[in-house]
Structure 1
């Protein structure tokens, strides 16, 4: 099963939207994540793609999303300061709600 949703993450003065695809193991844990939404061939696309590969590998080796969430940069209000932090925020919500009934909450 996979869930597709759109999230927004802050960058400078604006916001960049990404589509995030999430793959689940049969036990309901997240096993992989992919993101798309930046200009093809851009440096940001490469950073997001590589970040998703690393997140997926960590998840596949037993690291919990909540562990990643706590290690990434946060603003003074606890919000993500990067697209990878925003992806982990959404993954954490999905990990606590494997059916995805709350997947769209907070998404822009």
Structure 2
């Protein structure tokens, strides 16, 4: 059952970089929305070029992350489901994995993990 977010909710904007296999950094911005009890309930991901292919993929992936969170999936479950390197301590291989790590870090700051 999907737990909808309140119409008015706290949100936070975070900036992050995804480091590609070749070492290039790609900057992104994320907005996360919270339930009244402080749990993360939604995520938006914005690329520098909103209408680019990667911008659209990030948008759609963030919608799916948000729905999964609202249906009871945890950030840790989502993180465990994305591609990670077998070395480098399991570094995320995609922007989505990096964004989920960002959510996990944000949860850890609040002690909600």
TM value normalised by structure 2? 0.81
Which secondary structure state, in structure 2, belongs to the residue aligned with residue 39 of structure 1?
coil
**Rounded Cα–Cα distance in structure 1 between residues aligned with 2:47 and 2:56:** 11
1:59 maps to: 69
TM value normalised by structure 1? 0.85
Q: Which has the higher contact order (CA 8 A, sep 6+)?
A: 1
Identify the match of residue 100 of structure 2 among 66, 88, 91. 88
Runs of 4+ in 1 over 6 A off after TM superposition: none
**Rounded Cα–Cα distance in structure 1 between residues aligned with 2:48 and 2:95:** 11
Which secondary structure state, in structure 2, belongs to the residue aligned with residue 45 of structure 1?
helix
Higher-Rg structure is 2
Q: Which runs of 5+ in 2 are unaligned?
A: 1-9
RMSD of aligned C-alpha atoms?
A: 1.4
